[in-house]
Amino acid sequence: MRQRTPAYIFIPLTMFAIILAFTMVTPVETVAEPGFKGMVNNLITHLGAVVKEGIVWAVVAIALVMLLIINALNKVVETQKFKKLSAEEQAEYLAESKIGYFTRLFSSASKKQSAEEEEAIIIDHGFDGIKELDNALPQWWLSLFYFGIVFCITYMLAYTFTDFADSDVEYVEEMAILDERDAKWAEANDITIEGAVNKSNDPAIVEEGKKIFTQNCTQCHLDAGKGGIGPNLTDDSWINHENEDLFLNIYAIVYDGAPHNPQMRAFGQRKELSGLAIEKVASYVYHINQVEKTLTEADGAAAPQGDVVEAWKQK
Ligand code: HEC
């Protein structure tokens, strides 16, 4: 007679499986991260959301009562079967039940039947002399199998009738969360012209500004701002010179765009660049205009456009 899986093993396992199943149908407001760490974080967030649901505890409580009843019934069946065993078998069964569950589980992996035992369970057909034993399926294997069935049904129901794993809904939800995060980030990183500071003295900022310039501006102003579709940014001539301060003039044009030429678009207003990024790129433009060598047509740069602003001339 086989030993039963003890209640302290199968009850917690079943409870855990129930809670896991609930993680599939409980909506959670997070964006899944990739990778192993993301997987663990995801599970923790989902479990956190699940344990807050009253219905989960109700189901777990009902399941617990049912499992305890099943356990009691099994015990009765076990006692009945035990009575029918011969004295020898009873002694063997009792001796075996003294061994801990995990030790038994572990040794069962390597345990082999005796020749007589095999004789009793051999199946009466063969192929090429190969015979089969009618071994009982291991309990852990069966449990996994049943769990797979329950998981599959729950998944299919959840997929069909709830928002769970609906990629369209997930996409919209994740985008909403990302937009909110972006908006928060922009709020924290955005500065208006009043807050903008000329940081062209800081080589690290100028370097970062250069990167932003390369990504967003060189297609029109070309390398080092020597000018192409957009004007030469290294010379003393300016089409736009509304602001008295050169740095703020550059900042304002990049943030709001050039007032009379839509080609120079409003990077700040259109949220293509945050206020802080514009501060950096404006510091870079200030730097190439005021510190680096002025590039002229002789250097392959664009001819001056607009008016020479005396106050902004390179010293
Ligand atoms: C699609 C092309 C294009 C892109 C991209 C572009 N610009 Fe411009 N930019 C222009 C044009 C055209 C003008 C001239 C506007 C005018 O005529 O008023 C200009 C003007 C300017 C001016 C004022 C120059 C002056 O003489 O008044 C500055 C400063 C400037 N751009 C900086 C930038 C920065 C910094 C970026 C990147 C964040 C950038 N631009 C991206 C086309 C562009």
Tell whether 230 and 87 lie within a shared domain: no
Tell whether 67 and 146 lie within a shared domain: yes
Tell whether 53 and 149 lie within a shared domain: yes
Tell whether 75 and 166 lie within a shared domain: yes
Number of domains observed in the structure of the chain? 2
The enclosing domain of 238 has a CATH number of 1.10.760.10
Only one residue has tokens 């250097």, namely 299
pLDDT digits (tens, 9 = 90+) for 124-177: 887 888 888 888 787 778 888 998 998 899 888 888 887 777 788 888 888 998
How buried is 24 (Cβ within 10 angstroms: 0-12 exposed, 13-18 middle, 19+ buried)? Answer: middle
The mean pLDDT value for 236-255 works out to 93
CA of 221 to the centre of ligand 1 (A): 7
The mean pLDDT value for 57-77 works out to 94
Q: Do the domain assignments include residue 34?
A: yes
**Residue 261 in contact with ligand 1 by CB distance below 6 A:** yes
Q: Which long-range contacts (CB under 8 A, 24 or more apart) does 212-218 make?
A: 212/273, 212/277, 212/280, 212/281, 212/284, 213/281, 213/284, 213/285, 216/267, 216/272, 216/273, 216/281, 217/281
Tell whether 213 and 302 lie within a shared domain: yes
The mean pLDDT value for 68-73 works out to 94
pLDDT for residue 257: 94
Tell whether 267 and 294 lie within a shared domain: yes
Tell whether 185 and 261 lie within a shared domain: no
pLDDT for residue 38: 85
Contact 257, 264 (CB under 8 A): yes
CA of 240 to the centre of ligand 1 (A): 10
Band the pLDDT of 29: cuts 50, 70, 90. Answer: confident
Bridge partners (DSSP) listed for residue 308: 237
Residue of minimum CA distance from atom 37 in ligand 1: 217
pLDDT digits (tens, 9 = 90+) for 82-112: 999 899 989 988 888 888 888 887 887 777 7
Tell whether 147 and 38 lie within a shared domain: yes
Average pLDDT of the chain, as a whole number: 88
Of 221, 239, 249, which is best to mutate to test ligand 1, by the most ligand atoms within 8 angstroms of its C-beta?
Answer: 221
Q: Do the domain assignments include residue 226?
A: yes
Q: Give residue 294's domain range.
A: 203-312
pLDDT for residue 118: 82
**Residue 238 in contact with ligand 1 by CB distance below 6 A:** yes
Q: Please name which of 270, 277, 278 lies closest in space to residue 248, comparing C-alpha atoms.
A: 278
Q: Do the domain assignments include residue 132?
A: no
**Residue 306 in contact with ligand 1 by CB distance below 6 A:** yes
The mean pLDDT value for 25-29 works out to 75
Q: Between vectors from CA 214 to CA 213 and to CA 218, what angle results, nearest 5°?
A: 85
Band the pLDDT of 266: cuts 50, 70, 90. Answer: very high
CA of 277 to the centre of ligand 1 (A): 16
Measure the CA–CA gap between 42 and 297, rounded to whole angstroms.
58
Tell whether 170 and 218 lie within a shared domain: no
Higher pLDDT, 77 or 29: 77
CA of 250 to the centre of ligand 1 (A): 9
Q: Do the domain assignments include residue 227?
A: yes
Q: Do the domain assignments include residue 298?
A: yes
CA of 294 to the centre of ligand 1 (A): 17
CA of 218 to the centre of ligand 1 (A): 10
Tell whether 88 and 6 lie within a shared domain: yes
State the closest ligand 1 atom to the C-alpha of 249, by its place in the atom list counted from 1: 29
Higher pLDDT, 105 or 272: 272
pLDDT for residue 33: 77
Q: Do the domain assignments include residue 124?
A: no
Q: Do the domain assignments include residue 130?
A: no
Tell whether 174 and 268 lie within a shared domain: no
244 CB contacts (<8 Å, ≥6 apart)? 311
Would the pLDDT of 3 be above 80? Answer: no
CA of 289 to the centre of ligand 1 (A): 14
Instruction: Among 177-186, 242-251, 267-276, 279-288, name the one with the lowest average pLDDT.
Output: 177-186
**Residue 222 in contact with ligand 1 by CB distance below 6 A:** no
Share of the chain above pLDDT 90, in %: 44
Tell whether 164 and 252 lie within a shared domain: no
Q: Do the domain assignments include residue 117?
A: no
Band the pLDDT of 235: cuts 50, 70, 90. Answer: very high
Band the pLDDT of 192: cuts 50, 70, 90. Answer: confident
